[in-house]
Chain A
Amino acid sequence: MIGAYFFITMIRYDCFSSIGLEFSTSSSRVGDHTVNYVALKMLFGDRAKYLMLLCGLTFAVMLIVQQGSIFWGLMMWSQASITNLNVPIWVTDPGIAQVDEVKPLADTAVDRVRSVDGVEWAVPLYKGLLRARLATGEYHQITLTGLESATLIGRPAEVLEGRFEDILQPDAVVLDQWAVERMGGPTVVRVGTIFELNDKLARVVAIAKTQKSFTNIPVVYTTYERAMRYVPHERRILSYVLAKHKDGVPVEDVVQRIRTQTGLGAFTQEDFGFKTYMWVLVNTGIGINFGTTILLGFIVGMAIAGQTFYLFTIENLRQFGALKAMGASSFTLSRMILLQAFTVGLTGYGIGIGFATVFGFLTARGGNLPFAETWQLLLLVLVALLAICLVSASVSIIKLARLEPAIVFR
């Protein structure tokens, strides 16, 4: 979407220059099109200089976009448990910090949530860590996810092998593709494999596709009722109540109502995801580490962009001086510089995000690398880039304003 916007901007800009040309023919303001032409000719004329400038900008943009996307990708991974289930409302203990930290509720919480106005449905969910023992004797820690058996709400949309509905068969479980990878690959674990969960039999009937999670603990799906058989004895089992608001009722209202009426903690999917990655940012080193990397990338990228452009102006100082000697006003010169700055800036931006996207597209396609490009990031980079172009152009403009035309003759 945002890309399309910029595409239009580019075209528009192009139109501007053609309008400029027309202006020059129809109006008496001689030199309007000539000025634009000369400015661009100056920019493109020295191929080596132009390429150097473009490279600096391109890689600066690419660096920021790529780092930002990887950071955001990691954050997305941290809330994979939420997005993989893909339900609008999560209800649990009000003191919950993040999705993987389970605080069990009383069984009747499902009915209490169902009793709240505006709740269309509510189903129980079990989520907890357990050890799986393979036939080879290997142990693997897994996340057991117990879905409500009648509806299987919260199941992954895509199944790679088998049928997800077969989970209703006795002792059946469904793995995600990361579980297969972690447990030894498709030669060890496939549809039909039998392993033990807490000394009880589990049989793989399907393999589902999910988003990789931050901790990359394999996910084993089963039904809520069967999850109760697998897990060790606890007084409370229910981990989450998954709910949906009625159509036409704002989800925030329903969440608020669940909170006040039941005293439980209710969150929308987005809020809960936000809560989770804020927790990751605060409680792990990722926030600080990536934050500094991105900031450094940003500063370095922008410094390169500004500096290159400034140097470019300085090197063209003689030409500008000539123009000034020919009677061009400071305003005309400023326009020329701004045109140059934005042309090269936007071109560098386009190529930069193109490269970053290609990188992300090629490496992160399998889901093995966290890479999540968002339009917000691209917009932020664009704004920053335009700002830095503007700043370096202004510095050059100040330099030009003070320029003596006589410099040509020195």
Chain B
Amino acid sequence: MIVMKRMSVWLAVAGVGFAAWVLTGANKKDSMPTPISEPPRSPYEQVIAASGIIEAVNENVRVAPPVAGLVLKVLVKVGDRVTEQAPLFQLDDRELRAQLLTREAAIAPLQAQIDEQKYKIGDLETQLQRLQSVHDERAVSEDELKRTWYALEMAKRGDQRLHASHKQAKAQRDEVTILLERLTVRAPRNGTILQVNIRAGEYATLGPNEPLMLLGETEHLQIRADVDEVNAPLVPPQARAVASIKSLGSEKIPLTFVRIEPYVIPKKSLTGENTERVDTRVLQIIYRFKRPSFPVYAGQQVDVFIERQPSSTPGGTPPSPVVPMEQPS
């Protein structure tokens, strides 16, 4: 027991104890802080993951003006439901309207000339009749008769010419009317106005970067999923899939396969940045879905998980996966 009487031994025990205490404290590794929302997890055993975007079923219409011009009036606002041929916005038409005035004015003189010509013809016709009714050759010369006849025929041709000119003037008026009508941009089909990027007073150019108006059908939405070309051979057609919108990773939206786009395109990075960065090519797959209980919007990004069958031995040439499914009516 001589050991127990030594200070140094107790000091040593204390040292070991302290080291043990510090070590157990220091080596306790913090667990990862829980994610603020569930990360997207796959519900299937084997999957192909893709990133997708929600879009209107019939691809959105980027409404463009027929000609470049000043916008006078915007007749719809974002969210409006429009029917086919409903006016969307009005371009500046004053120039054509001015032209229409002159064109219309040109018709009245021609009409007057036609009327005038009618009396001329009537006059010559009565003259000719009178001359023909006289049988005395001394009273009416052959020459006079002939001249009157020619004059009448000339007048008739003049009338025809005037009618043609009148028609031409009217056609010119109609042309301006049609051109005028064209300056009112109308909806090419039924839909909802998704975006309005033009305001009265702005100049609408041809082929701008962003569409003047975006028209789409938001009642039925679809998902366009991008699969990296590396994974493209693994995508089975008709496969089941689910999607989850960002920040709501636990809510899965079941998807119905519609089709695989047959052409592999360069990927647009869905960053919202105006300059696109193309870094790889992607296979696009279209899926349809029922609206979930929470609101989803066209243009939203989603994470898509496509179920992959355990790799089977390929026998012969498989049928082309690019076969559209029956469109559900």
Contacts from A to B (Cβ < 8 Å): 1-4, 6-7, 10, 13-14, 17-18, 37, 40-41, 44, 50-51, 54, 86-87, 106-108, 110-115, 117, 120-123, 148-153, 155-158, 165, 225, 228-229, 233, 235-237, 262, 343, 346-358, 360-361, 372-375, 378
| With A108-B226, A151-B39, A372-B26 already in contact, 8 other A-B pairs whose C-beta atoms are closer than 8 Å | A6-B16, A13-B3, A17-B1, A115-B308, A151-B37, A152-B35, A157-B30, A236-B279
Task: Give A336 Cβ to nearest chain B Cβ, in Å.
Answer: 13
Residues on the B chain within 8 Å of A237, using CB:
277
Query: In the assembly, what is the distance between CA of A107 and CA of B23, in Å?
Result: 42
Q: A14-B4, A117-B45 are in contact. Are A228 and B271 (CB under 8 A)?
A: yes
List 6 A-B pairs, Cβ < 8 Å.
A7-B17, A44-B2, A114-B47, A157-B30, A354-B14, A378-B19
Task: Give A246 Cβ to nearest chain B Cβ, in Å.
Answer: 9
Residues on the B chain within 8 Å of A347, using CB:
6, 8-9, 11-12
Query: In the assembly, what is the distance between CA of A6 and CA of B21, in Å?
Result: 13
Are A4's CB and B246's CB within 8 A? no
Residues on the B chain within 8 Å of A13, using CB:
3
Q: A107-B280, A114-B305 are in contact. Are A40 and B3 (CB under 8 A)?
A: yes
Residues on the B chain within 8 Å of A165, using CB:
36
Are B16's CB and A111's CB within 8 A? no
Is B32 close to A, CB under 8 A? Answer: yes
Query: In the assembly, what is the distance between CA of A378 and CA of B23, in Å?
Result: 10
| B42 closest partner in A (C-beta) | A114
Is B103 close to A, CB under 8 A? Answer: no
Task: Give A48 Cβ to nearest chain B Cβ, in Å.
Answer: 13
Are B19's CB and A121's CB within 8 A? no
Is B282 close to A, CB under 8 A? Answer: yes
Task: Give A342 Cβ to nearest chain B Cβ, in Å.
Answer: 11
Set A1, A112, A114, A346: member contacting B12, Cβ < 8 A:
A346
Query: In the assembly, what is the distance between CA of A44 and CA of B4, in Å?
Result: 12
Contacts from B to A (Cβ < 8 Å): 1-4, 6, 8-9, 11-24, 26-27, 30-33, 35-42, 45-51, 226-228, 230-231, 234, 246-247, 249, 267, 269, 271-273, 275, 277-280, 282, 303, 305, 308
Are B33's CB and A2's CB within 8 A? no
Residues on the A chain within 8 Å of B1, using CB:
17-18
Are B47's CB and A3's CB within 8 A? no
Residues on the A chain within 8 Å of B51, using CB:
108, 110-111
| A10 closest partner in B (C-beta) | B13
Query: In the assembly, what is the distance between CA of A157 and CA of B31, in Å?
Result: 8
Q: A18-B1, A151-B38, A152-B36 are in contact. Are A2 and B23 (CB under 8 A)?
A: yes
Set B9, B19, B277: member contacting A373, Cβ < 8 A:
B19
Query: In the assembly, what is the distance between CA of A330 and CA of B4, in Å?
Result: 28
Are B45's CB and A354's CB within 8 A? no
Query: In the assembly, what is the distance between CA of A129 and CA of B284, in Å?
Result: 34
Are B12's CB and A10's CB within 8 A? yes
Residues on the B chain within 8 Å of A372, using CB:
26
Are A2's CB and B20's CB within 8 A? yes
Give 4 nearest A-B pairs by CB, closest first.
A354-B15, A3-B20, A350-B12, A114-B49
Q: A40-B3, A150-B39, A374-B27 are in contact. Are A352 and B15 (CB under 8 A)?
A: yes
Task: Give B39 Cβ to nearest chain A Cβ, in Å.
Answer: 4
Task: Give B273 Cβ to nearest chain A Cβ, in Å.
Answer: 7
Are A353's CB and B230's CB within 8 A? no
Query: In the assembly, what is the distance between CA of A282 and CA of B50, in Å?
Result: 40
Residues on the B chain within 8 Å of A106, using CB:
228, 279-280
Residues on the A chain within 8 Å of B30, using CB:
86, 157-158
Residues on the A chain within 8 Å of B15, using CB:
350-355, 357
Set A3, A44, A121, A355: member contacting B17, Cβ < 8 A:
A3
A-B contact count (CB 8 A): 187
Residues on the A chain within 8 Å of B8, using CB:
50-51, 54, 347, 351
Q: Which one of B18, B23, B38, B41 has the highest number of Cβ atoms from chain A below 10 Å of its Cβ? A: B23
Are B23's CB and A354's CB within 8 A? no
Query: In the assembly, what is the distance between CA of A374 and CA of B26, in Å?
Result: 9
Are B26's CB and A121's CB within 8 A? no
Are A3's CB and B23's CB within 8 A? yes
Residues on the B chain within 8 Å of A10, using CB:
9, 12-13, 16
| B229 closest partner in A (C-beta) | A108
Query: In the assembly, what is the distance between CA of A148 and CA of B247, in Å?
Result: 10
| B244 closest partner in A (C-beta) | A150
Are B17's CB and A108's CB within 8 A? no
Q: A114-B47, A117-B46, A373-B23 are in contact. Are A107 and B16 (CB under 8 A)?
A: no
Are A87's CB and B18's CB within 8 A? no
Are A115's CB and B47's CB within 8 A? yes
Residues on the B chain within 8 Å of A4, using CB:
20
Task: Give A339 Cβ to nearest chain B Cβ, in Å.
Answer: 10
Q: Which one of A106, A149, A165 has the highest number of Cβ atoms from chain B below 10 Å of its Cβ? A: A106
Query: In the assembly, what is the distance between CA of A121 and CA of B40, in Å?
Result: 6
Residues on the B chain within 8 Å of A158, using CB:
30
Are A351's CB and B23's CB within 8 A? no
Residues on the B chain within 8 Å of A375, using CB:
23, 27
Q: A114-B47, A123-B39, A156-B33 are in contact. Are A357 and B22 (CB under 8 A)?
A: yes
Are A150's CB and B226's CB within 8 A? no
Q: A150-B246, A346-B12, A372-B26 are in contact. Are A112 and B231 (CB under 8 A)?
A: yes
Q: A107-B269, A373-B19 are in contact. Are A155 and B33 (CB under 8 A)?
A: yes
Residues on the A chain within 8 Å of B31, using CB:
86, 157
Query: In the assembly, what is the distance between CA of A374 and CA of B19, in Å?
Result: 10
Query: In the assembly, what is the distance between CA of A352 and CA of B15, in Å?
Result: 7
Task: Give A4 Cβ to nearest chain B Cβ, in Å.
Answer: 5
Q: A41-B2, A150-B246, A343-B3 are in contact. Are A357 and B305 (CB under 8 A)?
A: no
Are B21's CB and A348's CB within 8 A? no
Set B2, B18, B33, B42: member contacting A354, Cβ < 8 A:
B18
| A152 closest partner in B (C-beta) | B36
Residues on the B chain within 8 Å of A354, using CB:
11-12, 14-16, 18-19
Q: A108-B226, A155-B33, A228-B271 are in contact. Are A3 and B21 (CB under 8 A)?
A: yes
| A86 closest partner in B (C-beta) | B32
Are B267's CB and A107's CB within 8 A? yes
Set A14, A54, A115, A228: member contacting B231, Cβ < 8 A:
A115
Are B16's CB and A157's CB within 8 A? no
